[in-house]
Structure 1
């Protein structure tokens, strides 16, 4: 191989290397940012006072806290209150948490219903469509209080297009319901179900709503739609 041919080959290899490097560097940078965020979230998680309750899983909290920070930066939520609903858990367990992020303490952990067409004991199917009677996953901003057929209720604004942005028109709200109780579980072997609303026990309804009203973050999680939640949060 003569000098010119070698130089040309070296140039081509160098350009190819630069192209590959250009593609790899953003991926490495993204992974580094993700690792740093996860580490920071783990630090926050480790400092939360469970307050005689059990903490949500870190996987669920990690995604919820990422979303909380993102939405806070965009001004879509204002209060440092994070409500997490983990629909990967049995409806017979207390799968709703309200966390005060200023004081790093769990304020409530309680039962919460999913939609009647979302599943029996376990939530399995989700929808953003009217009359589906299914729950919608993703991030919400809590809104104003009103008095409806279930008494004090809290309107919710879905913040993720295609996942939950029709919450208002579907009348998906937080409210109390007598079918969200330990006694209902004992009689029916599962919690009662709503028409898509995250219904909570009657005795805690007013207390929870007064804490989380007016633009706090509500996150409803299920692992089967995790990637869609993440992608729509970033868009």
Structure 2
């Protein structure tokens, strides 16, 4: 059998090096994020394969850590099985950490998420205990009368709009009004929900928020803009989330934006809390 020429042997070596590079680089990237020893390892491998690699920036490492922590918490809370989409959870957590950084939240480590991307026939409110890593409540919630029928598609911050308002809220004190015990909500997203207190957009119980109502009408009843709750749960929920906890109301509105969705602030807050 004819021996390979010198030129052929060189080509084989180059091909082998390229193959090794393709296999090793993903592993090197993982090492950067996994261990402080990544730098010397990557340098030696890069030198051995004649491939130049750069160490990720501190911000890239922090971003990867933030995403990892969010995904891990999402799994621990078992939220996928309970119908809360990861991207909605991640937005809610980003806002929670921003509000915590600003000192707007109390000592309770509770986050309430309402996803109006879901129909009213589904349980679309979650109260999350972030310290215990537990879902405390998962239940039905109504949207505003003029926001839509079964699906909430239109939102407003205007008085007498009878629509729901998207964004981040901080819960306030409770009072007794025409709906009985009710919880005041302070909207903190300028232009989207800051008229909530003036509009009396509050958490309260309503008999039109029930499985029986759904069976009869094919959807929940609707409020004047309040996130109305089932009569058999609203008092427990008010007791839990009142006085300085975060509420995030998500909906299908591409124009929505919030200063509280600043991931850099959220990352720094999370890093500080992890020591």
Residue 61 of structure 2 corresponds to residue 61 of structure 1:
no
Q: Distance in 2 between matches of 1:35 and 1:229?
A: 23
* 3-state DSSP of counterpart to 2:172: strand
- After superposition, where does 1:13-24 map in structure 2 within 5 Å? none
Structure 1 runs (4+) deviating above 2 angstroms are: 28-39, 227-235
**Corresponding position of 1:8:** none
**Corresponding position of 2:161:** 132
**Corresponding position of 2:146:** 117
Change (3 A) 1:215 1:232: closer
**Corresponding position of 1:188:** 217
Q: Distance in 2 between matches of 1:92 and 1:34?
A: 36
Name stretches of at least 5 consecutive residues in structure 2 with no aligned partner: 1-56, 266-275
**Corresponding position of 2:34:** none
Q: Distance in 2 between matches of 1:136 and 1:33?
A: 33
Task: Tell me how far 1:39 sits from its aligned partner.
Answer: 2.2
1:166 to 175, 187, 195: 195
Task: Tell me how far 1:229 sits from its aligned partner.
Answer: 3.0
Task: Tell me how far 1:102 sits from its aligned partner.
Answer: 0.8
Q: Distance in 2 between matches of 1:233 and 1:91?
A: 26
**Corresponding position of 2:71:** 42
**Corresponding position of 1:75:** 103
* 3-state DSSP of counterpart to 1:177: coil
Task: Tell me how far 1:230 sits from its aligned partner.
Answer: 3.9
1:51-74 Cα distance to aligned partner (Å, 9 max, x none): xx7151111111101110110111
Contact 2:176 2:182 in 1 (8 A): yes
Q: Distance in 2 between matches of 1:29 and 1:231?
A: 23
* 3-state DSSP of counterpart to 1:123: coil
Q: Distance in 2 between matches of 1:174 and 1:31?
A: 40
Residue 136 of structure 2 corresponds to residue 107 of structure 1:
yes
RMSD: 2.0
1:1-22 Cα distance to aligned partner (Å, 9 max, x none): xxxxxxxxxxxxxxxxxxxxxx
Contact 2:172 2:184 in 1 (8 A): yes
1:229 to 245, 257, 264: 257
TM score, norm. by length of structure 1: 0.81
1:71-128 Cα distance to aligned partner (Å, 9 max, x none): 0111111221000000000100000000111100001100000000000000100000
**Corresponding position of 2:17:** none
2:243 to 214, 221, 234: 214
Structure richer in strand, relative to its length: 1
Higher alpha-carbon Rg: 2
* 3-state DSSP of counterpart to 1:200: coil
Name stretches of at least 5 consecutive residues in structure 1 with no aligned partner: 1-27
Contact 1:160 1:233 in 2 (8 A): no
